[in-house]
Amino acid sequence: MVQVIVRNGESIDEALRRFKRECDRNGIIQEIKKRESYRPPSVIRKEKLAEAKRKMRRRSFRRFGD
């Protein structure tokens, strides 16, 4: 659960901006979008596999990029 405490002298707009940033960092917006529609288990498996491949590719670039 994301919680933002309004600081002294801070406007509501600034606090709202911090709240939105925290929601982005925690992946809440992405989770809401994922739950908006039903996805069959086969699609979920394919997405997880693609994400794993992407992560492996990024890790290999980091090792050899420096």
Strand, coil or helix: what is 12?
helix
For 6-61, what is each residue's pLDDT tens digit? 999 999 999 999 999 999 999 998 899 888 989 899 999 999 999 999 999 988 87
pLDDT of residue 66: 54
b/e per residue 29-48 (b: at least 16 CB within 10 A): eeeeeeeeeeeeeeeeeeee
Q: Which residue has the tokens 């709202």?
A: 16
* Confidence at residue 1, expressed as pLDDT on a 0 to 100 scale: 82
